């Protein structure tokens, strides 16, 4: 309930719509409860006495109450929808903002598929609970109390049927809710697994096709899909027992009331109109009890979703800017002083141990190592995407923990090993490098990228152009660039951007390039050479890059590997 109460505070500007919806439900309920009283008078006085005028008056009053109840119901639907979907939007926004504030360490604790489920499926469950459950939540207790009260006013002896039926209905509801409640978290985990498999398959669809693993992926999807189906079936098979059980109890009560009420009419202890009105209240009371049972089931599932969402909102970001943080980076100098790092405190071994590394401003340093040797981890400590477990990382002579996070990360431009194009125009993607860049500056960065791009590996031309242009645009101002390349064949432009620093007007760029490899030229044939290199002539100085390295100098001889020359 704590998670649900926290989420209720996010109604914000839609709180007014929520209370208006509740008010219209009460008005609708009032008019519906008045109708049986008017109907009883119509039968006992108008019909019994043959008073046509009385019948018409009471009939008009009943019609007016029905119309007013309809109008109140329509207004309720309007305001309830506004409140429900507005609240859902606020909850999604709150989760998204919290995720944006997460450090990499926080993100490591959540699977992407789980975060998607929490922002979509779980929020939809809460929206439906408000949109579909607000009416019975407000209406049912009112109708139950007033219906039972008016029934006792009509005939206290006949109303004792409620006293007998209430415990039976309560027991049915208790056992149904008790059996269903533990299964909703299982259902959510099954949805998370399905989303994870779908996301994994779509992300790696080219690899799946290249290795002809389609049947394997289909089997894996079928497995999690069947698991979700079985979990859903087991959950809702118990939940659907709620309605028939309560209906059986309700109709048994109606039969009992007709039986005892008929005997009372024959003994002149009860009027026909009173029995008719009494049956109306019985149906309303029983329907209210059924709606309350439905609310309990809906609340049970909503609590599971609220708990799921609450985990995202309660997660505190591991990294934050210190008070009186530095907002300017002096230069591109980078120092690692006795740095050790592990991704989790309970991890048995460090990913990095005792790193001592000093890079002066303007230097280009190559970091060599195999896959999984923590090259990317080393780079991620510089813009403080993670904090070092031991030791210090300094940028511009100051500990990275002394900087404002936004200022530090703005000063470090990274070409990541996994490149992503966001939806929108090319201009909007380029603005990721510098949100305040003018059209001329964007064009300049794009032109530089256009001259050095080459279609290598699986990278599309657009991805290469945008990646280089964004990095260059950011580098113009920051003077620092770090290229993280886990696979040298897939990220050659990381090296080239470093080399282009000088010809792009940035004379103090510090470069850290991962996996610069020197491969003997005899393993590169003429055809590969002609298709897998980039070169730019800047005032007689050649900047040449291929999958094996970066070269800066005079024009090399044809088909001579400049990196090894």
Residue 505's pLDDT is 45
Q: Is residue 476 within 8 Å of residue 441, measured between CB atoms? A: yes
Residue 344's pLDDT is 81
Q: Is the model's pTM score more than 0.75?
A: no
Residue 440's pLDDT is 83
Residue 93's pLDDT is 93
Q: Is residue 285 within 8 Å of residue 154, measured between CB atoms? A: no
Residue 175's pLDDT is 80
With 0-12 / 13-18 / 19 or more C-beta atoms within 10 angstroms meaning exposed / middle / buried, residue 211 is: exposed
Q: How far is CA 519 from the centre of its chain?
A: 45
Residue 544, phi then psi, degrees to nearest 5: -125, 135
C-alpha 551/C-alpha 565 separation (Å) is 9
Pairing of strands 334-341, 390-395: antiparallel
Q: Is residue 481 within 8 Å of residue 463, measured between CB atoms? A: no
Q: Is residue 473 within 8 Å of residue 442, measured between CB atoms? A: yes
Residue 454, phi then psi, degrees to nearest 5: -145, 140
Contacts of 288 (CB under 8 A, 6+ apart): 136, 139, 140, 141, 143, 144, 147
Q: Is residue 529 within 8 Å of residue 560, measured between CB atoms? A: no
Residue 337, phi then psi, degrees to nearest 5: -120, 100
The tens place of each residue's pLDDT in the chain, 565 residues long, gives 677 788 888 888 899 999 999 899 888 888 887 887 788 788 878 887 788 888 888 889 899 999 999 999 899 989 999 999 999 999 999 999 999 888 888 888 888 888 888 898 889 888 988 888 888 888 778 777 777 777 777 777 777 777 777 777 778 777 877 887 788 888 878 888 888 888 888 878 888 887 788 888 889 899 999 998 988 888 888 777 777 877 787 788 788 888 888 888 888 877 777 777 777 777 777 777 777 777 777 777 788 888 889 888 988 888 888 888 888 888 888 999 999 998 887 788 888 888 898 988 877 777 777 777 788 888 888 888 888 989 999 998 889 999 998 888 888 877 666 667 777 777 787 777 777 888 888 777 777 666 555 444 445 555 555 565 555 555 555 555 454 443 433 344 444 444 444 444 444 445 544 433 333 333 333 433 333 444 444 455 554 554 444 455 566 655 454 444 4
Residue 562, phi then psi, degrees to nearest 5: -70, -25
Tokens of 459: 């990278």
Pairing of strands 390-395, 398-399: antiparallel
Residue 507's pLDDT is 42
Residue 515's pLDDT is 39
> Percent helix, strand and coil across the chain, each rounded to 5?
65, 10, 25
Distances from the Cα of 148 to the Cα of 25, 31, 163, 169, 282, angstroms: 19, 16, 10, 15, 8
Number of Cβ within 10 Å of residue 224's Cβ equals: 18
Contacts of 558 (CB under 8 A, 6+ apart): none
C-alpha 200/C-alpha 190 separation (Å) is 15
C-alpha 441/C-alpha 481 separation (Å) is 18
Tell me the residue length of the chain: 565
CA dihedral 371, 374, 375, 381 (to 10 degrees): 150
Q: Is residue 329 within 8 Å of residue 403, measured between CB atoms? A: yes
Which of these, 425, 404, 268, lies nearest to 329 by C-alpha position?
404
Contacts of 429 (CB under 8 A, 6+ apart): 421, 422, 466, 470
Residue 173's pLDDT is 75
Reported for 515-519, long-range contacts at CB under 8 A and 24+ positions apart, including other chains, are: 515/367, 515/368, 515/369, 515/375, 515/485, 515/486, 515/487, 515/488, 516/366, 516/367, 516/368, 516/488, 516/549, 516/550, 517/368, 517/488, 517/547, 517/548, 517/549, 518/548, 518/549, 518/563, 518/564, 519/548
User: What's the first-to-final CA gap in the chain, in angstroms?
Assistant: 70
Number of Cβ within 10 Å of residue 470's Cβ equals: 25
Segment holding 391, helix H or strand E? strand 390-395
């Amino acid at each position: 309930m704590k998670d649900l109460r926290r989420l209720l505070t996010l109604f914000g500007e839609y709180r007014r719509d929520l209370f208006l919806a509740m008010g219209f439900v009460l008005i609708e309920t009032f008019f519906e409860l008045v109708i049986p009283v008017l109907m009883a008078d119509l039968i006992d006085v108008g019909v019994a006495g043959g008073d046509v005028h009385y019948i018409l008056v009471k009939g008009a009053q009943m019609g007016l109450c029905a119309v007013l109840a309809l109008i109140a119901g329509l207004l309720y639907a309007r305001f309830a929808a506004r409140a429900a979907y507005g609240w859902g939007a606020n909850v999604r926004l709150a989760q998204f903002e919290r995720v944006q504030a997460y450090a990499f360490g926080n993100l490591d604790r959540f699977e992407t598929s789980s975060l998607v489920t929490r922002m979509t499926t779980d929020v939809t469950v809460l929206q439906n609970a408000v949109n579909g459950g607000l009416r019975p939540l407000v209406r049912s207790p009112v109708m139950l109390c007033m219906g039972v009260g008016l029934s006792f006013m009509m005939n206290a002896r006949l109303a004792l049927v409620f006293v007998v039926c209430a415990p039976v209905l309560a027991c049915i509801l208790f056992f149904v809710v008790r059996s269903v409640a533990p299964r909703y978290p299982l259902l959510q985990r099954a949805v998370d697994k399905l989303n994870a498999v779908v996301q994994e398959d779509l992300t790696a669809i080219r690899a799946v096709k290249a290795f002809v693993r389609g049947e394997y992926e289909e089997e894996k999807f079928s497995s999690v899909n069947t698991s979700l189906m079985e979990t859903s079936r087991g959950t809702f098979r118990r939940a659907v027992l709620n309605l028939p059980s309560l209906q059986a109890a309700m109709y048994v009560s109606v039969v009992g009331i007709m039986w005892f009420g008929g005997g009372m009419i024959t003994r002149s202890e009860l009027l026909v109109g009173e029995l008719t009105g009494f049956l109306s209240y019985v149906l309303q009371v029983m329907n209210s009890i059924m709606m309350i049972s439905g609310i309990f089931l809906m609340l049970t599932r909503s609590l599971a979703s609220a708990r799921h969402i609450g985990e995202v909102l309660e997660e505190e970001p591991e990294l934050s800017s210190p008070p009186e943080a530095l907002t300017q980076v002096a230069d591109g100098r980078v120092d690692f002083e006795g740095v050790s790092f592990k991704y989790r405190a309970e991890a048995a071994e460090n990913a990095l141990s005792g790193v001592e590394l000093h890079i002066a401003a303007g230097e280009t340093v190559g970091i060599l190592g195999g896959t999984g040797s923590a090259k990317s981890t080393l780079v991620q400590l510089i813009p403080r995407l993670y904090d070092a477990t031991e030791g210090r990382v300094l940028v511009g002579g100051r500990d990275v923990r002394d900087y404002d996070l936004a200022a530090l990360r703005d000063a470090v431009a990274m070409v990541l090993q996994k490149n992503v194009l966001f939806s929108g125009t090319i201009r909007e993607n380029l603005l990721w490098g510098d949100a305040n860049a003018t059209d001329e500056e964007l064009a300049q960065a794009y032109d530089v990228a256009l001259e050095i791009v080459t279609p290598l590996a699986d990278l599309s031309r657009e991805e290469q152009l945008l990646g280089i242009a964004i990095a260059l645009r950011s580098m113009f101002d920051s003077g620092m660039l770090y290229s993280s390349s886990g696979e040298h064949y897939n990220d050659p432009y990381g090296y080239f951007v470093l080399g282009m620093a000088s010809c792009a007007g940035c004379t103090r760029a510090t470069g850290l390039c991962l996996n610069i490899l020197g491969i003997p030229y005899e393993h590169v044939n003429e055809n590969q050479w002609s298709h897998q290199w980039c070169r730019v002539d800047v005032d007689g100085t050649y900047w040449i890059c291929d999958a094996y390295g970066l070269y800066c100098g005079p024009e090399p001889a044809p088909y001579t590997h400049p990196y090894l020359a």
